[in-house]
Structure 1
Amino acid sequence: MNAVPRRDRWLALGLLLGVLAIAYLVLVHPWWTQPLLAANTRIQQLQQRELRQRMALEQAPQVRRRLQEMRAQQARTPGFMPEATAELATAALAQRLEAIVGQASPGNRSCAIVNRSPMNEPQRDTYARVAIQVRLQCGVPELAAVLHAIESGSPRLFVGNLNVVAQRFYFAPGTGQAAPGEGGLDVSFDLYGYLRPGVQPAAPARGEGGEVIDAP
């Protein structure tokens, strides 16, 4: 006799637990528990983000000191061209070449620029570069002085695709006529330098005959 009421009580208790579970899943979990879990996750994310920002702020003085050291080192050994644009850097290359040739051969008596023209440089290296294609007619000592001055000055400039052809008869600059002589050289090469980080390369300006247009 007591077994049936006891079984009914367990059955009623089971039904009550089922109803409570359904009520929790329908009413409590989506409206209370789930928002609390999402808020807790968001709080943890914000705490981690705050920790990273605080660590970054603590390292800021060290970063500033390191940046100042790098800038001072770059100022002591300027390898990049100082011009603000690729066009100005291309014009500076041409002006630098003229000055170097003028120093190696005052009055262009033994060395002269036959041609110079800008080159469109694709972004192949880590740093953008500007270049001009050069053709000279020089004697051997003057050519050696020109190449040495190019590659030993500051900012750093480089010579590539060097091609030297000896001439039995060559145009003697300053005389207006061809003259026989030993050591007359027809020289062509690419003269290039690198832009500072952050300066974007651009197509250099051209004048008549493909010459570089010097910046005012």
Structure 2
Amino acid sequence: MRPVARAERDRLLAMALLVAVLAMVYLLFVHPLFTQPLRAADATISDLRDRDARVRALLEQAPEISRRLAELDARGSATGFLIEPTSELATAALIQQLERVVEEVSPGSRGCAITNRAPLSGEPVPGRYRRVTVQVRLRCGNAETLAVLHALESARPYLFVDALNISSQRYFAIPGSNPPQEGGLDVSFDLYGYLRPVPGTPAKAVTRG
């Protein structure tokens, strides 16, 4: 019985050694040369399939996206940009908007008045967006100044205030009104907006100055 048991033990040991050798061969040669590349290829294929699915979904939505972009562009052209076709007409519209805001804030110029408004001319700036600017000077009370600036910058089409300069006055005089009152502000700034983009010109970022 002992020779048989020893033979059986030797056979099991040989099988164990064979399994160990095969495992070492797999870990040293098969796994790095075949298994890992195959797994990486599977991951790449899965990622490409996900990207393809997302692209197909976007392509299916392309007509709806184009329609929405056209609506937003039309809405922006109607409310975001000055609707006048030329700088001269846009300047006149800016001045009228300024006068309307001041009149609404201070009816009859009792608390705020425009003392100067002049178009600001300069070299044409190349790009898609054309800027129209009016230099403004006001004589206003504190509350009226805040109301005018807020109304201008929250208006449609979009208007912007730049180069703002505010200085206090000992006396607050409104042209054509009663004798001067104590207090008030001397306010000067550039009021500007943008004409509609010119088709075919490169886009240029619009900043607030």
Residue 172 of structure 1 aligns to a residue whose secondary structure is coil
Q: Which residue is 2:68 aligned to? A: 69
Q: Could you tell me which of 162, 165, 170 is aligned with 1:163?
A: 165
Larger relative contact order (Cα-Cα within 8 Å, sequence gap ≥ 6): 1
Paired with 1:124 and 1:168, the residues of 2 have a C-alpha distance of 44
TM-score (normalised: structure 1): 0.57
Paired with 1:133 and 1:70, the residues of 2 have a C-alpha distance of 35
1:131 aligned onto 2:140:
no
Q: Which residue is 1:118 aligned to? A: 119
TM-score (normalised: structure 2): 0.59
Question: Residues 172 and 182 of structure 2 are in contact (CA less than 8 Å); yes or no, is this contact kept in structure 1?
Answer: yes
Structure 1 runs of 4+ off > 6 angstroms? none
Paired with 1:67 and 1:98, the residues of 2 have a C-alpha distance of 39
Question: Deviation string for 1:57-77 (max 9, x for gaps)?
Answer: xx9xx6x87654333113434
Paired with 2:108 and 2:66, the residues of 1 have a C-alpha distance of 45
1:96 aligned onto 2:85:
no
Q: In the alignment, residue 92 of structure 1 is paired with which amino acid?
A: A
Residue 145 of structure 2 aligns to a residue whose secondary structure is helix
Question: Residues 130 and 194 of structure 2 are in contact (CA less than 8 Å); yes or no, is this contact kept in structure 1?
Answer: yes
Change (3 A) 1:112 1:124: farther
- Report deviation, 1:120: 1.2
Please show how residues 75-94 of structure 1 align to structure 2 within 5 Å: 75-77=74-76, 78-94=79-95
Paired with 2:116 and 2:92, the residues of 1 have a C-alpha distance of 14
1:196 aligned onto 2:189:
no
Residue 169 of structure 2 aligns to a residue whose secondary structure is strand
What do you get for the CA RMSD once the two structures are aligned? 2.3
Q: Which residue is 1:33 aligned to? A: none
Please show how residues 1-216 of structure 1 align to structure 2 within 5 Å: 68-77=67-76, 78-121=79-122, 122-123=124-125, 126-177=128-179, 179-182=180-183, 184-198=184-198
Larger % of strand: which?
Answer: 1
Q: In the alignment, residue 87 of structure 1 is paired with which amino acid?
A: E
Which has the higher mean CA deviation after the structures are superposed, 166-175 or 101-110? 166-175
Paired with 1:80 and 1:169, the residues of 2 have a C-alpha distance of 38
Paired with 2:127 and 2:190, the residues of 1 have a C-alpha distance of 16
Percent identity over the alignment?
51
Paired with 1:80 and 1:112, the residues of 2 have a C-alpha distance of 26
Question: Residues 109 and 173 of structure 1 are in contact (CA less than 8 Å); yes or no, is this contact kept in structure 2?
Answer: no
Point out where structure 1 has 5 or more consecutive residues left out of the alignment. 1-58, 200-216
